[in-house]
């Protein structure tokens, strides 16, 4: 192995009195796609900026290309061989400049000779498929296109090492997969090394090596397989009736147990698949087990196991409250349509949500999710169709709807310069609660959200997980029967996310609150009882997550992972022999295929040593498959 | 120093300014607008003061006395009032700003060997305007008395001293003549720092500054490329404002145009430097705007001699005036327009401005870091 391209020892960065990153050590070799994974505030950005020489750091040694960058001169000397793409969708690009002008600016800034710059611009526009939009102003691009342009600009001077800070955050799954594919191609053809951060744990398997970062410290570093080996165990997924009782019974024995829609998912530490299945069956003795599958654990399970897995809030005891069949639907949409001039934002959308049901609305940016939500919450009158929310007609009872629903979006709901108590009191006042009622709800919210002891802290000083639970409490202050959640857990660490979903689960099952969740976080989608996928203003699929997975497997086959030494060559060879759509995943390839034997034959024809294995299909595979098929049917949108 | 990088930055900056409506307006429209608004809004001349007369006497003499005021260009007659209380109401409502009360027997007293008395009531809400009004009333009253005395046969041979005053540099003592050149000073103090500070802080706020931090461009190259378009725009504005002063406000330009241009350019460098310094110290556009407003607006209006002459300032304020560049440029611009003096008399001020520009740019350069702490 060559000398490492990047060597970091005991890196530390402090802001004011608190450590952002502490004691981080890692090496990155030439050609690696190294991932830095962690929630918001884990210290990813600080570390990456320091490595790029744009942020001073306080402790440790950082060597880039063998040069120590402790001094400004040292940092300056490596910048010509580095590329940095900072965080934020297209934030570092220039909105009023066209795609081409953006690339030209970076080329001139980096002193790329003119003819060489033209050649590279041409190639990069071709690879990123941005050539048809070369004259379009940057600000009119979609999120995914902005990120691809950002990548092209970062690569214009042919750097040896690129540092990409959360390039896929806020980008829909299809564009995300597209981005990873392009990055893989470019790394291969240019001999690049990349340091990439992400907040999505499900992207971890795409890296050749990775580091799990939590509160500024490295939890584990290694290849995905090495990290998986750190916490041996098995995942058990079962469907048991009644679900709530099953969970209450399992939770004391298995700390990593959570409800995913109608099923329960457990990570059983230390046992193999068979033993884990048996142990779970034993605990559930006497209940009706409809299905029980076991599978290999995923990185998120390992991450939680490494964190110690202590739960901040335990499940509140409660009786399952099955809504009776004659109770009216919590949300009913019938042929909802909304047009803006010529543009049809939402077309003929129909669905219903039962009391106590968690309903997920998925879709890429611009698919019509936001417009649909605005109509359902009484903000925007529909141009056609009808519907009711919490018993109020949405065509003329906008104000009534608003008083009966709760709405939570991480971005807007809290006043950060008020304390926990003041925030709750403010919301109680806004919804017209009396003093006594308000105090009672205050106690309920503080208990529910696990905020005891934080009552007089400013919302701004709370950790993300607590802040988000406070926002949930404020949305629930007036006891709404219907709750709207807009990407509720983005930016929250896996532990906080799990606690949050425990609360939502209990709210739905015990209190019978209906929920509508919009997200393009695939791990959130898995928690829903039912999912609707929106595409171009229409609902194109509406079923439970398991059902959707079954549909995709029936349509496109099982998910296969091919372990290979030459992912790029093999991908091309497979596409030529009738297996298109392989996406890179670390050093491996993943693809859907209906004929496993033929795939194995095609793989071994190209490369004798390659292995083919089946993998459980994920929600992201489902989403990407459905949307790609629809895009192909609609004449291939960009 | 690589010219290609400097020009890359400058060209991109220029494109962004002309394509962004807000920045375009800030660069080209706001300076002209400020010149117009200040010019018409800040006139210090007191003319056409509305007034009323309460004439209890109604004699030929009292009418004669009133006419002295009614005919004057400084006053604007708003009709007679029947009583003092009616005049008082008009004063309160703002309909008039001065009343004359001529008592009964005014004509009689004036013909008799005694003396006649007249009362004037002046709206004192704006002290300087009230003082000026009183001055006018006293002058017209004195004129009237002198004329009457001159008619007395006993005194026909007597000659008093007649004072002939002449105002140099501004014959009509019209305030816009002295204001307009100083307004160039104010506008050039406000507009360049705003543009510069917002232009740099905008990049910090949205993160595009990291393109600069992470590339191998030097600080000097970046700052040169970044500031060049702003200095160019302000140079263009010097000419626009000069045209406004000469053509719209009809201020004669008596000095050396080349010297005026050079001094103005150095002044623009100074104020751009203020913007640069603000931009390295703050990190949001809102903060940049507030800080720039405070450090430019107040000194350029209060401590520059725009309204209150430096010599009339208190000693503390005078010290402040001397550390702000506005005062020095005000000397230059008034000298060039009204006095027709040039480098021979104004080289000291020019030197101060040059030193100022050098210090601001050195500070900005030293404090700008491609590798900040946060």
Tell me the three-class secondary structure of chain B, residue by residue.
CCHHHHHHHHHHHHHHHHHCHHHHHHHHHHHHHHHHHHHHHCCCCCCCEEEEEEECCCCHHHHHHHHHHHCCCCEEEEEEECCHHHHHHHHHHCCCCEEEEECCCHHHHHHCCCCCCCEEEECCCCHHHHHHHHHHHHHHHHHHHHHHHHHCHHHCCCCCCCCCCCCCCCCCCCHHHHHHHHHHHHHHHHHHHHHHHHHHHHHHHHCCHHHHHCCCCCHHHHHHHHHHHHHHHHHHHHHHHHHHHHHHCCCCCCCCHHHHHHHHHHHHHHHHHHHHHHHHHCCCHHHHHHHHHHHHHHHHHHCCCCCCCHHHCCHHHHHHHHHCHHHHHHHHHHHHHHHCCCHHHHHHHHHHHHHHHHHHHHHHHHHCCCCCCC
Structure tokens at A377: 């919450």
C-alpha pair distances (Å), B229 with each of B223, B262, B273? 11, 18, 14
**pLDDT value, residue A66:** 93
Report which secondary-structure segment, H or E, holds A263.
strand A263-269
Please tell me whether residues A35 and A93 are part of one structural domain. Answer: yes
Average pLDDT, chain B: 89
Rounded to an integer, the average pLDDT of B143-168 is 73
Does A78 share its domain with A176? yes
Task: Flag if B208 and A94 touch (Cβ within 8 Å).
Answer: yes
Which of A91, A96, A101 best probes binding to B when mutated, by most B CB atoms within 10 angstroms? A96
* Residue among A55, A88, A109 with most chain B CBs within 10 A, to mutate: A109
Q: Provide the domain limits for residue B112.
A: 49-155
Q: Is the peptide bond before A242 cis (omega within 30 degrees of 0)?
A: yes
Confidence at residue A310, expressed as pLDDT on a 0 to 100 scale: 53
SS3 for A105-128 is: HHHHHCCCCHHHHHHHHHHHHHHC
> Going by C-beta distance under 8 Å and a sequence separation of 6 or more, which residues neighbour residue B252?
B246, B337, B338
CB-nearest to B214 from A79, A94, A96 is A79
CATH number of the structural domain spanning residue A249: 3.30.70.260
pLDDT of residue A637: 45
Cβ <8 Å between A54 and B15: no
- Do B237 and B332 reside in the same domain of the chain? yes
Q: Which pLDDT score, from 0 to 100, does residue A276 have?
A: 92
Query: What pLDDT, on a 0 to 100 scale, did the predictor assign at position A466?
Result: 86
Same domain, A255 and A351: no
- Is B109 near chain A, with CB under 8 Å? no
* Residue A400 and residue A501 in one domain: yes
Based on the fold, state whether residues A239 and A134 are members of the same structural domain: no
Sort out which chain B residues have CB atoms less than 8 A from A101's CB and list them.
12, 15
Same domain as B67, residue B38? no
Please tell me the distance in Å from A517's CA to the nearest CA on chain B. 30
Closest-CA residue to B338 (of B165, B184, B192, B132):
B184
- Interface A-B: count of C-beta contacts within 8 A: 85
Residue B315 is predicted with a pLDDT of 87
Tell me the pLDDT tens digit for each residue of A262-302.
889 999 988 899 999 999 999 988 888 888 888 888 888 88
Supply φ then ψ for residue A444, to 5 degrees: -60, -45
User: Of A280, A296, A312, which one is at a domain's C-terminal end?
Assistant: A296
Per-residue pLDDT band for A323 (boundaries 50, 70, 90) equals low
Confidence category of residue A317, pLDDT binned at 50, 70, 90: low
Total domain count, chain B: 2
Residues A151 and A278 in one domain: no
Residue numbers in A near B8 (CB within 8 A): 105, 108-109
Q: Could you tell me the residue range of the domain that residue A14 belongs to?
A: 6-222
Same domain, B136 and B268: no
Q: If you average pLDDT over residues A4-11, what whole number do you get? A: 94
> What is the spatial distance between Cα A167 and Cα B112, in angstroms, rounded to a whole number?
100
State whether residue A54 sits within 8 Å of chain B by CB. Answer: yes
Q: Crossing angle, helix A243-250 and helix A494-509, to 10 degrees?
A: 140
Q: Mean pLDDT in chain A? A: 88
Asked if residue A322 is part of any domain, the answer here is: no
Shortest CA distance from A109: residue in chain B? B5
What mean pLDDT is predicted for residues B92-108? 90
d(Cα A32, Cα A193) in Å, to the nearest integer?
Answer: 5
Examine the domain organization and report whether A580 and A505 are in the same domain: no
CB-CB neighbors (< 8 A) of B372 in chain A? 54-56
Higher pLDDT, A311 or B55: B55
Residue A144 touches chain B, beta carbons under 8 Å: no
The stretch A222-238 carries a mean pLDDT of 90
Q: Do B370 and A52 touch (CB under 8 A)?
A: no
Q: Do A70 and A180 reside in the same domain of the chain?
A: yes
- A169 and A237 share a domain? no
Strands of the sheet with B98-102, listed across from one edge: B75-81, B49-55, B98-102, B119-122
pLDDT-derived band at B117, boundaries 50, 70, 90: confident
Task: Tell me the per-residue pLDDT of B9-55, one tens digit each, with 9 for 90 and over.
Answer: 999 999 999 999 999 999 999 999 999 988 887 766 778 889 999 99
In tens, the pLDDT along A517-538 reads 988 778 788 899 999 998 888 9
Within this chain, do residues B64 and B196 fall inside the same structural domain, yes or no?
Answer: no
- Mean pLDDT for A373-389 is 87
B40–A contact, CB cutoff 8 A: no
Task: Please report whether residue B167 resides in a domain.
Answer: no
A89 and A32 in one domain?
yes
- Contact across the interface for B5 and A111, Cβ inside 8 Å: yes
pLDDT at A312 > cutoff 60: no
A-chain residues near B20 (CB < 8 A): 96
Nearest-CA distance A115 → chain B (Å): 15
Q: Would you call A417 exposed, middle or buried from its count of C-beta atoms within 10 A (0-12, 13-18, 19+)? A: exposed
User: Most B CBs within 10 Å: which of A86, A113, A166, as the mutation test of the B interface?
Assistant: A86
Cα-flanking dihedrals φ and ψ of residue A128, to 5°? Answer: -85, 0
CB within 8 Å: A84 and B371: no
Query: A89, A108, A135: best mutation site toward chain B, by most B Cβ within 10 Å?
Result: A108
Q: Is the pLDDT of residue A311 over 70?
A: no
CB of A67 within 8 Å of any CB in chain B? Answer: no
Residues B83 and B227 occupy one common structural domain: no
Which of A28-32, A400-404, A585-589: highest mean pLDDT? A28-32
Q: Which of A54, A96, A109 is the closest to B217 by Cβ? A: A109
| Cβ atoms of residues A84 and A52 within 8 Å | yes
A315 pLDDT higher than 60: no
- pLDDT over 70, % of chain A: 96
Domain shared by B30 and B111, yes or no: no
Helix (H) or strand (E) holding A468: helix A464-475
Q: Is A167's pLDDT higher than 80?
A: yes
Q: At residue B156, does pLDDT exceed 70?
A: no
Question: Phi-psi bin for A62: left (phi > 0), alpha (psi -120 to 50), beta?
Answer: beta
The predicted pLDDT at position B329 comes to 94
């Amino acid at each position: 192995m060559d000398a490492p391209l990047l060597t970091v020892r005991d890196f530390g960065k402090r802001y004011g009195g608190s450590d952002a990153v502490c004691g981080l050590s890692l090496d990155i070799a030439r050609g690696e796609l190294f991932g830095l994974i962690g929630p918001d505030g884990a210290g990813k950005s600080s570390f990456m900026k320091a490595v790029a020489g744009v942020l001073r750091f306080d402790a440790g040694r950082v060597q880039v290309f063998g040069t120590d960058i402790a001094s400004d001169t040292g940092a300056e000397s490596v910048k010509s061989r580095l590329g940095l793409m900072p965080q934020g969708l297209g934030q570092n690009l220039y909105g009023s400049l066209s795609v081409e002008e953006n690339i030209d600016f970076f080329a001139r800034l980096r002193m790329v000779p003119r003819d060489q710059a033209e050649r590279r611009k041409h190639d990069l526009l071709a690879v990123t498929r941005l050539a048809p939009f070369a004259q379009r102003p940057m600000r009119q691009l979609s999120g995914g296109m902005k990120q691809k342009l950002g990548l092209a600009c970062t690569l214009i001077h042919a750097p040896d090492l690129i540092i990409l800070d959360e390039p896929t955050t806020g980008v829909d799954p299809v564009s995300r997969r597209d981005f990873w594919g392009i990055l893989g191609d470019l790394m291969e053809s240019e001999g690049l090394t990349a340091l990439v951060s992400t907040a999505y744990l499900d992207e971890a398997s795409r890296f050749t090596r990775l580091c799990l970062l939590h509160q500024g410290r490295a939890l584990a570093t290694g290849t995905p397989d090495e990290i998986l080996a750190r916490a041996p165990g098995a995942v058990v997924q079962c469907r048991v009736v009644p679900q709530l009782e099953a969970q209450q019974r399992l939770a004391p024995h298995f700390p990593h147990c959570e409800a995913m829609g109608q099923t329960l998912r457990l990570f059983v530490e230390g046992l193999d698949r068979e033993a884990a299945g048996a142990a779970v069956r034993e605990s559930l003795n006497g209940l009706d087990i409809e299905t029980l599958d076991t599978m290999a654990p995923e990185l998120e399970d390992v991450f939680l196991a490494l964190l110690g897995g202590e739960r901040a809030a335990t499940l509140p005891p409660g009786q399952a409250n099955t809504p009776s069949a004659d109770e009216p639907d919590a949300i009913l949409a019938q042929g909802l349509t909304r047009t803006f001039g010529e543009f049809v934002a939402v077309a003929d959308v129909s669905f219903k949500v039962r009391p106590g049901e968690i309903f997920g609305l998925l879709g890429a940016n611009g698919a019509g999710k936001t417009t649909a939500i605005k109509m359902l919450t009484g903000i925007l009158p529909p141009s056609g169709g009808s519907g009711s929310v919490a018993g109020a007609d949405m065509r003329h009872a906008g104000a009534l709807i608003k008083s009966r629903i709760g709405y939570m979006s991480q971005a807007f709901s809290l006043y950060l310069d008020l304390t926990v108590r003041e925030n709750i009191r403010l919301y109680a006042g806004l919804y017209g609660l009396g003093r006594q009622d308000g105090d009672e709800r205050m106690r309920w919210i503080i208990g529910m959200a696990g905020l005891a002891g934080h009552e007089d802290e400013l919302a701004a000083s709370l950790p993300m997980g607590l802040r988000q639970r406070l926002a949930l409490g404020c949305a629930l202050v007036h006891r709404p029967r219907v709750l709207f959640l807009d990407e509720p857990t983005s930016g929250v660490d896996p532990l906080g996310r799990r606690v949050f979903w425990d609360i939502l689960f209990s709210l739905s099952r015990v209190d019978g609150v209906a929920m509508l969740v919009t997200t393009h976080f695939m791990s959130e989608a898995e928690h829903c009882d039912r999912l609707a996928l929106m595409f171009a203003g229409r609902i194109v699929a509406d079923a439970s997550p398991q059902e959707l997975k079954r549909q995709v497997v029936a349509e496109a086959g099982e998910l296969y992972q091919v372990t290979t030494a030459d992912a790029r060559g093999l991908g091309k060879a497979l596409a030529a022999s009738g297996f298109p759509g392989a996406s890179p995943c670390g050093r491996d390839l993943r693809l859907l295929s209906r004929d496993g034997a033929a795939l194995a034959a095609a793989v071994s024809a190209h490369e004798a040593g390659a292995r083919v294995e089946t993998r459980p299909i994920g929600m992201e595979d489902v989403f990407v498959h459905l949307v790609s098929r629809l895009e192909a049917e609609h004449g291939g949108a960009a | 120093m690589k010219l290609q990088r400097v020009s890359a930055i400058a060209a991109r900056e220029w494109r962004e300014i002309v394509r962004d409506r807000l920045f375009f307006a800030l660069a080209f429209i706001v300076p002209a607008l400020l010149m117009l608004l200040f010019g018409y809004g800040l006139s210090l001349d007191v003319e056409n003061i509305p007034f009323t007369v309460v004439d209890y006497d109604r004699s030929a003499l009292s009418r004669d006395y009133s006419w002295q005021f009614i005919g004057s260009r400084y006053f604007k007659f708003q009709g007679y009032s029947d009583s003092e209380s009616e005049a008082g109401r008009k004063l309160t409502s703002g309909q008039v700003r001065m009343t004359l009360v001529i008592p009964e027997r005014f004509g009689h007293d004036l013909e008799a060997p005694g003396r006649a008395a007249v009362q004037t009531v002046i709206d004192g809400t704006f002290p300087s305007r009230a003082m000026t009004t009183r001055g006018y009333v006293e002058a017209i009253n004195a004129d009237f008395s002198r004329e009457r005395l001159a008619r007395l046969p006993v005194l026909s041979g007597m000659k008093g001293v007649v004072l002939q005053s002449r105002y140099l540099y501004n014959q009509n003592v019209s305030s816009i003549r002295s204001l307009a050149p100083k307004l160039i000073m104010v506008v050039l103090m406000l507009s360049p720092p705003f543009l510069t500070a917002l232009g740099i802080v905008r990049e910090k706020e949205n993160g595009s500054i990291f393109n600069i931090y992470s590339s191998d461009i030097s600080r000097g190259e970046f700052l040169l490329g970044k500031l060049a378009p702003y200095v160019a725009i302000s140079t263009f504005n010097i000419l626009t404002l000069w045209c406004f002063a000469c053509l719209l406000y009809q201020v004669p330009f008596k000095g050396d145009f080349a010297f005026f241009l050079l001094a103005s350019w150095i002044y623009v460098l100074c104020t751009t430097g203020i913007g640069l310094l603000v931009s390295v110290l703050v990190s949001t556009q809102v903060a940049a705007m507030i800080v720039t407003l405070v450090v430019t607006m107040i000194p350029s209006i209060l401590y520059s001699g725009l309204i209150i002459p430096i010599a009339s300032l208190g000693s503390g304020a005078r010290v402040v005036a001397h550390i702000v560049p506005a005062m020095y440029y005000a000397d230059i611009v008034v000298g060039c327009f009204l006095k027709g003096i040039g480098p021979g008399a104004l080289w000291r001020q020019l030197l101060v401005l040059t030193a100022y520009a050098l210090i601001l740019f050195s500070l900005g350069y030293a404090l700008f870091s491609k590798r900040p702490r946060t």
